Amino acid sequence: MKRIGFLTAAAVILALGLLAAACTDDDGGGDASGTPSATSTATSTTEVTADPVIENAVELVEQLRPSVVHLRTAQGVGTGFIIDEAGYIVTNNHVISFDNGQPAGEIEVTLSDGRTFDAEIIGRDARTDVAVLQIDATGLKAVPLGTSSSLRVGQEVLTMGNALNLVGGPTVTKGVVSAVNRLVDESPVFIADAIQTDAAINPGNSGGPLVTADGKVVGITTAVLRGQGGIAEGIGLAVSIDLAKPVVDRLIADGFVNRGRLGIFAAAVSRATENNCLIDASSGVLVTSVVADTPAATGGLEDCDVIVEIENLSVDNITDLFRALLEHGPGETVDVSYIRDGEVEVIVVTLGKSPN
């Protein structure tokens, strides 16, 4: 691929120590044949399909409440949610970790019925800010996990968490999906598929569920953006559940995540112009930079290549890329298919070890 001969400025927002850069995907529509349908006219309007609306927030909160838990460690409080009657709880890694990355020695979990338990850390993944705990308790209610890939900007969502550790139980807020595919990149955290919402989020909400009208979790609340000078309002972030699910599964199975490494910086193909790339692809992952002396560099990947498949796993977006690198760990040899100058090419690389 050729670089376009101009630069585009990118805005950045500082958020509680996390740097978030916009990374939205815009999908175009139309008849594949290029021919207007029989019902199309110059004055016709597009019918908008209604998004799921939270019609009864009170009922949804009552459904959700038994699954949301209060977490307390020596350094503060946070939130988690039960995903299995065996006592597995999902939260943010930063909720149960010290600033130096070490895990909290004691974690107290309080259920909605007032029962309190000591939690065991099953596994932590600093890169996605996801952690799994477990308590030995009976009578637990798990909240179902949904999918985040079908979320639409403007769709209503609800979140519940222990905002500011206020007395009287968790706080409930409602808002909309403000944006999808946000990028949070502040070492060691690298969340490639964050959901932005205007539902009010405050310290203590971290680790709580972001829920749609059907009562399913689509995100894990992780941060609130304040902007430069603290003047931004209504900008919160959640780890998408599609990104978190395979991490949670791996943490429960192994206690850690051992992901493979290609050695690239990547972005959605919709950001080709701002990365000075001229591409011929509507999906995939754009290579914005190749790190020297890595599998990608050795294999011959270049800036502006578009990765579309890894070892028979389709890569339509950054979440797919991360999932593929979870599926294939360090030391595995994989085929990587990519588009360059409109042609699909394949290289064979042996994956390195990604930092956790």
As given in the structure block, the two tokens for residue 199 are: 């539902």
Q: Which is more confident, 10 or 188?
A: 188
Q: What is the CATH number of the domain that holds 299?
A: 2.30.42.10
List pLDDT tens digits, range 292-311.
Answer: 999 999 999 999 999 999 99
Residue 4: the pLDDT is: 32
Average pLDDT of 308-333?
92
Which residues are the active-site residues?
Answer: 94, 129, 206
Average pLDDT score over residue span 95-124: 96
Cis peptide before 355, with omega less than 30 degrees from 0?
Answer: no
φ, ψ for residue 136 (rounded to 5)? -95, 95
Question: Could you read off the pLDDT of 44-84 as tens digits, one per residue?
Answer: 344 545 578 898 999 999 999 999 999 999 989 999 999 99
Specify the higher pLDDT residue, 131 or 31: 131
- Domain CATH code at residue 75: 2.40.10.10
Question: Where does the pLDDT of residue 23 fall: very low under 50, low under 70, confident under 90, or very high at 90 and above?
Answer: very low
Q: Do 73 and 96 touch, CB atoms closer than 8 A?
A: yes
What pLDDT score was predicted for residue 318? 85
The share of the chain scoring above pLDDT 70, in percent, equals 82
Q: Which of 134, 160, 181 is the last residue of a domain?
A: 134
User: What is the extent of the structural domain holding 123?
Assistant: 64-134
Asked if residue 124 is part of any domain, the answer here is yes
Residue 242 lies in a domain: no
Confidence label for 219 from pLDDT (cuts 50, 70 and 90): very high
Residue 339 lies in a domain: yes
- Among 100, 134, 168, give the residue marking a domain's end: 134
d(CA 263, CA 292): 8
Structure confidence at residue 13 as a pLDDT band (50, 70, 90): very low
Which residue, 134, 155, 190, sits at the end of a domain? 134
Classify residue 210: in a domain, yes or no. Answer: no
Residue 305 lies in a domain: yes
**Residue 293 located in a structural domain:** yes
- Residue 26: inside a domain, yes or no? no
Residue spans of alpha helices (H) in the chain: 57-64, 241-254, 295-299, 318-327
- For strands 217-225 and 209-211, give the pairing: antiparallel
